[in-house]
Every structure is written in C-alpha cells, then in structure tokens.
Amino acid sequence: MGLHYTDWLVIGSFMALSLWIGLRYKNQASTGLAAYFLGGRNLPWYIAGTSMVATTFAADTPLAVTELVGQSGIAGNWLWWNFLLGGMLTTFFFARLWRRAGILTDVELIEIRYSGRAAAFLRMFRALYLGLFMNCLIIGWVNVALMSILEVFFGISREEQLLFVGLAMVIVMIYSSMSGLLGVAITDVVQFVIAMTGCVILAVLVVNSDKIGGISGLKAQLPAWSLDFFPQITKDSSVSNIAGTLTLSFGAFLAYTSVQWWASWYPGAEPGGGGYIAQRMMSAKDEKHALYATLFFQIAHYCIRPWPWILVGLCA
C-alpha cells in the first residue's frame, strides 16, 4: 500500500509536533537536575499517570495482546493481568513513599538505603543489567514490532524499514533529550490520545465490518471458549489448553497468584515500583498526586487500554 501526500503530511505534522514540544520545554528542563529528570516535581496526577500508561504502549503492545487473544481467547491476557497484584501493592503502599523520598532516580534509593562494597556492586549491576542489557532488549523487540507493522501495511523492503525506524529513534532522542521529563510527559499525553483514538476507531470499523456484523455477529462466529474471561483451572499438572482456552494447573495458578507477580521483573510492572514508573511517581506534585497517578495507571493499563486490541484480536 502506497502513501498519499496527505499521509506524509499527517506523519510529518506528528513528528513536527513532538519536536515542537521538546523545544517548548527546553528552557524549563535546563534550570536544574530536578527540572530535567523530574519535571520540577510538579506534575499533576493525570499527566504523570497518562505518561505511565503511554510509556508502556509501544508498537509491540497491541501485537502481543492480539496474539494472546488469538491463541487463548480473552483469558489469555491473564498471562500479564496477574501483574496487577504487584501494581496495587505499588499504588497503595509505595507510591507515597517514592514521592516522599525526595530522590532523583530509583538507583539513588539504593545509595541512600545501603552502603559498602555490596551496595556499590548492586548499583553497578543494576545500572548495567537494566540500563544496558534490558534496555537494548526492549528497544530491539519494540523496533522489530514496528518493522513488522511497516512491512505488512506498506510492503517496503528491510532497508527502508531500518531507515524509517532509525529516523523515528533520532526524532525521539532529540525531543526527549532537549525537554527533560516534563516535555516527555506532555508528549506522552499527546501521543497516547492519538494512538488510543486510532485503536478505538480501528476496533469500531473492524467489529462493524461486513465480515463481522457487529458484536452479535462476532459472538455467533466465535467458539464459546474464546469469550471466557477466566482461564480453566485443573488439578492435572500435565493438561494442555482445552479447546484453545488458557488452561492452568492448580499449581501454576498458585504460582501466578502467589509468587509470579512479586518475584519477576517486567518493565512497568516492577513490584513496589521502579524505572520509569518510579520516576513519574517522584515527579508528582505531592504524595497524593503520586498515589492518584499510579492508581490511574493501573486502571488504564489493565482495565481500559487493552479492550480495543482484544476486540480486534477476536475479530481476526
């Protein structure tokens, strides 16, 4: 599919808007470290919370959710919905404390809390493991997803895909490095509204297409298991998925509900907070705004944002 000149105009306007926001907040970000890394510690909860949701929304996110739905129905999302337990722990027990700590980064908390060689090793290991290895891994899978979308929609070559992805990375690097967290958060809000509007429009168009025939037509064409909200729980540890729906042994269910959500690390779902989630909690106006921002993130991330993708996945 080729691009019309109006398509290029829309894409160019979107890129220009992101760069303009970076320039708009450049001076405010240059007034100090707190202004650059935490937006002056003055973000309202709805900006900080939306920025959290937007940061966990990349090219790979809807692809992952639709794949889970295609394989195991709605219940397949419990493979990541179980992280909500850790999210609520972060919200009600740690959000206020992150803001109260008065630190610039989550690594600084390690420096304050611990001392000695072991603490120095922990800081170095965390910086290298998360800052280098994990970030490269995340950037890689996000960009591979973007390249897949470019290939499917536009049929362009691998070289052209790399060119467009590289250009997008350069633009993001420019506006994020200029504007600091405040500009990044404002850009997040704008981009999130645009992206979710597109997702909702896509879901409405797909569900109401002639091949689907609305929600009633969708339900009539789908097997019953694909609409099950909860996975199948069984005592048989060797069981496989029943007719496609997500099936967990009782032991696996206990692992997900009792261990998995606090014993594993995933971007945006760190039990207790960390990374860009902690950064936005620390950037809130006060402890109450930090709490509200994190609560809004949990609700939007787990309960609201995935449903347009789930509908499209069911239609596929």
Q: In total, how many domains does the chain have?
A: 1
Q: How many Å apart are CA 297 and CA 243, to the nearest integer?
A: 34
> pTM for the full model?
0.91
- Position 130 scores a pLDDT of 83
Mapping DSSP to helix (H, G, I), strand (E, B) and coil, where does residue 101 land?
coil
- Mean pLDDT, residues 31-53: 94
Q: Where are the alpha helices (DSSP H) in 129-221?
A: 135-154, 158-207, 214-221
Assess whether pLDDT exceeds 70 at residue 166: yes
Specify the range with the lowest mean pLDDT, choosing from 65-79, 121-135, 239-253, 295-309.
239-253
Alpha-carbon distance 195 to 14, whole Å? 11
Q: pLDDT tens for residues 262-290?
A: 887 777 788 888 888 999 999 999 999 99
pLDDT class of 203 with cuts at 50, 70, 90: very high
With 70 as the cut, is the pLDDT of residue 243 above it?
A: no
pLDDT tops 70 at residue 241? no
From 6, 9, 8, 29, select the one nearest 178 (Cα to Cα).
29
Lowest mean pLDDT among 136-140, 154-158, 214-218, 257-261: 257-261
Domain at 250, CATH number: 1.20.1730.10
Beta bridge partners of 233: 248
- Rounded to whole angstroms, the Cα distance separating 91 from 86 reads 9
Residues 101/109, Cβ–Cβ less than 8 Å: yes
Tokens 């269910």 correspond to: 253
Beta bridge partners of 189: none
Find all residues with CB under 8 Å of 266, minimum gap 6, and list them.
Answer: 80, 83
Q: Which domain holds residue 138?
A: 5-315
Of 144, 83, 72, 149, residue with least CA distance to 310? 72
Phi/psi of residue 284, nearest 5 degrees: -70, 160
- Asked if 134 and 306 count as a contact pair (C-beta separation under 8 A), the reply is no
